[in-house]
Structure 1
Amino acid sequence: MVAAVAAGLMVSSAADTGFAATAPDAAAVEQVVSGFAGKAGYPGIAVAITKGDQVLYTGGYGHDSAGAAVTATTPMPVASVSKSFTALAVMRLAEAGKVTLDAPVRDYLPDFRIADPRGARITVRELLNQTSGITDGTFPEKSLPQPASPAAAVTRARDATLAAEPGTKHYYTNTNYHLAARLVEVVTGEPFADYMRRDVFEPIGMRATTTINQTPRDLPDNLRKGYIYAYGMSIPATEPIRFVNGSDGVITTADDMAQWLILQNSGGLAANGTRLVSAASVAAMHTSSDPRWTYGMGWDTDLKGRVHHNGIWFTYTSDELLLPGGYGIAVIGNSGIGLGNEGVAALTDELATLVAGGEPQTGAPVRLIVDLLLAALTLLSAFLGVRNLRHTRDWAARLAPRPSWRLALRLTPRVVPLALLITLPDLLGRIVGGGRDMTFLQLCYYSVPLVAWSAVATVMNIGVLTVRVVALIRARRSVEAPPVPDGSARLATG
């Protein structure tokens, strides 16, 4: 059940903006959330909905991997939604006169060096709006050894090169925000997590929120494992080893996210009256500074012109959305992304429709359908492989007389599944992830069925290839070998 923890049903004054006259009640939210959870395979989901400086709704649905109910106070990671927190921390320092956004990063991080000399020109703003020129392609941060701290992340970045001149193109990469976290540390003289707790989280009432350096090493004891999904089953899994601070290290609750949404929709003013940054700084974070891209600083603009940011771990996903009329929605789910599921942004959209007075559409369980199709392909690959192995002798006897080059051409496609399996992390990162880096282990988290199909197809095809080559050699030897005379022939010619 969804546990509604809110200040009742708030009357909306935004009727002229196309939004509902009253906030959705708990039953309506529960119906939308449970419908999404059922189709997308999410065991547990937490939700916060706000308007202006009021909390309309916070609550949880389902359970965590220990079997406990997910509530408005259940700690959950918000993944890359963390970037909006890091951006605000830097903006606070900028307003205090301690950081100049258009100054080179090296002014604040003397140790910052990359392999490309153009890196000396990267500014603080270019880190925050993801236009430094560093990409997952020029610096595959997930595939490299993972640092233990922001300082170590700066050292690791020395091997980075640039895909473009700083400030000319937008490339989303976690590395920019790893560097921003270290910048906060150096400027403030204290660990990033301590600064965030004292100067960002606690002042606005986010007392259950923290940020960590590395998964799974630094995960709080009260944070339960998230899930991966395969063939209709949700499987508890430990998040892979990754450095996350600054980019996706914030762990929070639905109650705390409600306070964050209020701050964003109130021009930097918290519900308790604390001002963290000016309205101008909030607007700057929400808005792209260049028409060539939509990303501001820690926030993006979607195709409908709404301000948002999603978050993806391999075992959790999240989304935050700011709507016209002062509405805010945050969603955190305890299952990772995969084929047929790109996170909880679809649920955020459904809740936005509900808030606007519309009828959300649950839709088909695409995630399950994709996995069942992959399961069918896996079984088909196994069946075809076994059938080909059983007919190897007949195949070899029939084709042995053909030229070797023709046989080689015929057998070469058998190595295609192996090549696909080896390159699959890179292909998925480019095709589905927009150029993001991914390791083979992380691919297994992303889609067990896809890896299983690729592995079965590889094993069966390499097996068929090996057995057929051996069978061809034997068949040719039997054809080319001279007949052995029997005893009567030797006697007749003796």
Structure 2
Amino acid sequence: MLTTTLAALFLAVLPPAAVLPAAAVPPAAADISPAAVDAYVEDYREKTGLPGVAVAIIKGTKVVHAAGYGKTASGAPVTVDTPMAVASVSKSFTSLAVMQLVEKGAVELDRPVRGYLPEFEMADPRAAVITVRQLLHQTSGMADSAFHERSLPQPDSLKGAVARLEHARLAAAPGTTFSYHNTNYQVAARLVEVVSGEPFAAYLKRHVFDPLGMRHSSTVDTERDLPDSARGHLTVLGQAFAMPEPSGFGNGSGGVLSSAGDMARWLIAQDDGFVPVESLKELRTPSQQNDSYALGWEIGATERGTPVIGHGGDLFTSTAEQLLLPGSGYGVAVMANTGMAFADSSALLDGLVAIIEGGKPKPPSSPYLVTDVVFALMTLATFGLAARGVARSRRWAARRRGWGRLWVLPCLAPLALCAAVTPIFRVLARGSDIMWIQVGYLYPAFMLWLVTAAAAGVVVTVVRLIR
């Protein structure tokens, strides 16, 4: 039963299957008012306990609404100018930076990366033919299953992110398989640094943020660089608790910080001429290996069949979403300061899109509340059973001699499961890498019970053997 429960919980965070445009006539978009947005977001926060969120909605070249709601992890109000983490939405910024170099003739998408970035060395000779396009399409052959990018020691710079690939191998031949892998975009960002001669953060500021008036946006290397406004929460038993982001490197793949006002400017820039038409076409053209993933953008459709272009982002304590509806000219961005296990940004985005399409948002839910209650009760029961086991340890020892003492081993089963959590996750998540502490961020109530059970089992085992 425990294994089944663990499997069900792990499967809950697997990335959903790609959504392709449905064979339906898209509905006409309805005008959405700031008051309707405010009412929906505040109702969502009240029902879910979401601490803070920023929302931007544009139509064409105009901002329909941009606002912040609630508070940051440090207790400050979330405003229209509050920088928050956009996580993997950052990949759209990285792909644009590469395309700007393509426009200047400094980079060709179908040439090998190593021609621009000689330091890009791997233990696999096939890496020599990886192209720039394959990095951005996530078809380079690099994958979590072959290179444990999260659980290995983390770099502190883009140069270090590339250098640690020296002993890595590919999971597949370049250009044959799609595999979502953050290192692809870290290599791409390092390429931008080397070709442009500017640090990646300086490049984005000079060529993207400043020209668009994104005064509250930047990009950072690691979780240590996150300002208080970009830190997030874990939710347990329906209550949000401010927590530091686990250790990790994200520049190029997930390091951008932005505000509601700045994300509105970014969404407008996708179709106002800032990005040349030919570049837009390249950015929105998917690979043959995955027809729903382009260059830092995902191609899909809403539940009503409206074609969309977007990208989501997940940290362990915050999430973000961006979406463009080309047919109506609408664009939406959401940044929430709760982690990937709760998908608040995605739920809010879906609700806002439903309003834009003239429908009604689905009622918000707390997907782990019942599970949290179950594991909280199991934790209390574990404390009780451990106390009982210690109190009766002398009687247990008196009844067992010789090999009979091996009956103490079942008490160590939770400890064994504790040690096996990350390998189990990797199997259930189809090779996705993770650190042990990160599993705790995904399933805090479960991991609290498991650690309690492991400690209790060790204590009971030791006391019984001493007796």
TM over 0.5: yes
Root mean square deviation, CA, Å:
2.3
TM-score by structure 1 length?
0.82
Determine if contact 1:32/1:362 at 8 Å carries over to the other structure. no
1:276-316 deviation line (CA, Å, top 9, x unaligned): 43223223323322154521111123464532211122222
User: What does residue 346 of structure 2 align with?
Assistant: 345
User: What does residue 262 of structure 1 align with?
Assistant: 268
* Distance in 1 of aligned mates of 2:351 and 2:147: 36
1:126-159 deviation line (CA, Å, top 9, x unaligned): 1111111111232222222222221121111212
Q: Secondary structure at the match of 1:136?
A: coil
Question: Which structure has the higher relative contact order (CA within 8 Å, separation 6+)?
Answer: 2
Residue 335 (1) aligns with residue 338 (2): yes
TM-score by structure 2 length?
0.87
Q: What's the offset of the Cα at 1:254? A: 0.6
Listed as ranges, the matches of 1:43-442 within 5 Å are: 43-216=51-224, 218-220=225-227, 223=229, 225-264=231-270, 266=271, 269=272, 275-290=273-288, 292-302=290-300, 304=302, 306-323=308-325, 324-338=327-341, 341-398=342-399, 400=401, 404=403, 408=406, 410-431=407-428, 435-442=431-438
Cα distance change on mapping 1:239 and 1:364 into 2, 3 Å:
closer
Q: Secondary structure at the match of 2:65?
A: strand
* Identity within the alignment, %: 43
* Distance in 2 of aligned mates of 1:40 and 1:129: 35
* Distance in 2 of aligned mates of 1:81 and 1:40: 24
* Distance in 1 of aligned mates of 2:465 and 2:288: 59
* Distance in 1 of aligned mates of 2:464 and 2:299: 56
Determine if contact 1:227/1:334 at 8 Å carries over to the other structure. yes
Higher mean alpha-carbon deviation, 417-426 vs 439-448, is at: 439-448
* Distance in 2 of aligned mates of 1:435 and 1:34: 38
Determine if contact 2:116/2:195 at 8 Å carries over to the other structure. yes
User: What does residue 492 of structure 1 align with?
Assistant: none
User: What does residue 12 of structure 1 align with?
Assistant: none
Determine if contact 1:102/1:124 at 8 Å carries over to the other structure. yes
1:25-63 deviation line (CA, Å, top 9, x unaligned): 233212322233344442100001112222111111111
Cα distance change on mapping 1:359 and 1:228 into 2, 3 Å:
same
Cα distance change on mapping 1:197 and 1:449 into 2, 3 Å:
same
* Distance in 2 of aligned mates of 1:110 and 1:166: 18
Q: Secondary structure at the match of 1:242?
A: coil
Cα distance change on mapping 1:21 and 1:40 into 2, 3 Å:
closer
* Distance in 2 of aligned mates of 1:451 and 1:43: 23
* Distance in 2 of aligned mates of 1:419 and 1:39: 38
Cα distance change on mapping 1:416 and 1:353 into 2, 3 Å:
same
Question: How many pairs are equivalent?
Answer: 438
Higher mean alpha-carbon deviation, 35-44 vs 81-90, is at: 35-44
* Distance in 1 of aligned mates of 2:179 and 2:47: 32
Q: What's the offset of the Cα at 1:431? A: 3.1
